[in-house]
Amino acid sequence: MKIFYLTPRVPYPIDKGDKLRAFYQIKYLSQKNDIYLYSLDENDVFIPNNNPLYKYCKNIKVTKLSRLRILLNLLKGVFTKVPFQTSYYYSKEIKKDISKAIDIFQPDIIFCQLIRSAKFVEDITNIPKVIDYVDVISKGLERRIEKSKLFLKLLLKWELKRAIKYEKQVYDNFDDWIIITDEDKNLLPFNEKKFIKVIPNGIDLEFFHPIISIKDCDVLFSGNLSYPPNIDAAEFLVKEIMPLVWDVNPNISVTIAGAAPKNRILTLASDKIKIVGWTEDIRENYKKAKVFIAPLRIGTGLQNKLLQAMAMKLPCVVSDLTAKGITNENCDFMLVAKSKEQYANHIIHLLNDSDFSNMIAEKGFSYVTNNYNWEDIINNLDEIIKNVKR
């Protein structure tokens, strides 16, 4: 089949969760299908010939979003009912260019990642369309509202009302639908969600595997450090969890690693807190750590860094919110915390008891390798795409 794959960001380098998901979907779908990738991006993106995307795509088109264009899009968005997250990317000029690319490629299917890209193809009715919600934007907004200050809270409430309506509108405009977890599926604000298929992220088990190394980091948190849920989690870790840990052992160190750290992250650095920016090989951070922590309190979806950590045999401590992205059942392959005291106790236990730490790490490794193989996951997605009916 010929698949026209539309993304709001170029899915390489893999420094954000949506880019990781798109990259591996493209990689494995390309084994049985021809892929035309059309991506938007805020940056001047040059894709060299040795970029792995060229191995998987028959053609690639990147359209740059200038700052002026983004500003105009947002101003126009004030007078529409579309979420600003969609208005941010949308313009009639780009929509026209996408339609032209589709006419040239003549795809059998149009595949859109995120509701941010859905509006570009809303008028196309002669080609089957699949939307990957990835996660539930409206629920993520709702959780951010709870922890935001007055002005931002008012703005987010406005955006939330739009997002709730638009998520349903997108459903009505597409022929098939996927999402990352059962938890996210159940959080969608409309009854037809029962027809949406769950396609999780996987893990590249050839790349992420246990590596023997000197462990000079006690506790590791990693993720995109410009993403609000990750910023909140890092601050929660440093300001509320670790002081309880340091009361027991003041020598325990923390590494916070990830792309594009905001100032709020950089100011957390101290003699006990190391801030690491973008790392070409993220395994360098995992292999040096004794414990991985994901104390997220807002956001939705499946935490890719958690899968990566478990694949590298790191014992993991997570929030109940993070755990729900993997399982709705009680689990024995990671430690779940609901309070800062529980986080601290889990960290101390893992660092003080190597047998217990190794047991949790082994169970996590086994769970990931048995349930998150990309090839198996994308085979299921390929079947969904092949059976889409308008």
Give the CATH number of domain 2-202+374-386.
3.40.50.2000
pLDDT averaged over every residue in the chain: 95
Dihedral angle over CA of 89, 91, 95, 98, nearest 10: -50
- Average pLDDT of 63-81? 94
Domain range 217-371, CATH architecture: 3-Layer(aba) Sandwich (3.40)
Q: Is 356 within 8 Å of 349 (Cβ atoms)?
A: yes
Quick check: 16 pLDDT over 80? yes
CA 28 and chain centroid, separation: 18
Supply 106's token pair. 């003549």
CA 88 and chain centroid, separation: 19
Quick check: 211 pLDDT over 80? yes
Distance CA 195, CA 182 (A): 12
Q: Outline where the chain has alpha helix (H).
A: 17-29, 53-56, 67-77, 84-87, 92-105, 137-146, 150-173, 182-187, 228-236, 242-248, 263-266, 283-287, 304-311, 320-324, 340-352, 354-371, 374-386
Q: Is 1 within 8 Å of 109 (Cβ atoms)?
A: yes
Q: How confident is residue 390, by pLDDT bands cut at 50, 70 and 90?
A: low
- Average pLDDT of 120-148? 95
Strand segments (E) across 191-279: 197-198, 217-222, 254-257, 273-276
Quick check: 34 pLDDT over 80? yes
Quick check: 148 pLDDT over 70? yes
pTM for the whole structure = 0.90
At position 155, the amino acid (one-letter code) is L
- Average pLDDT of 344-364? 98
Q: Is 20 within 8 Å of 208 (Cβ atoms)?
A: no
Quick check: 49 pLDDT over 90? no
Range list for CATH 3.40.50.2000 in the chain: 2-202+374-386, 217-371
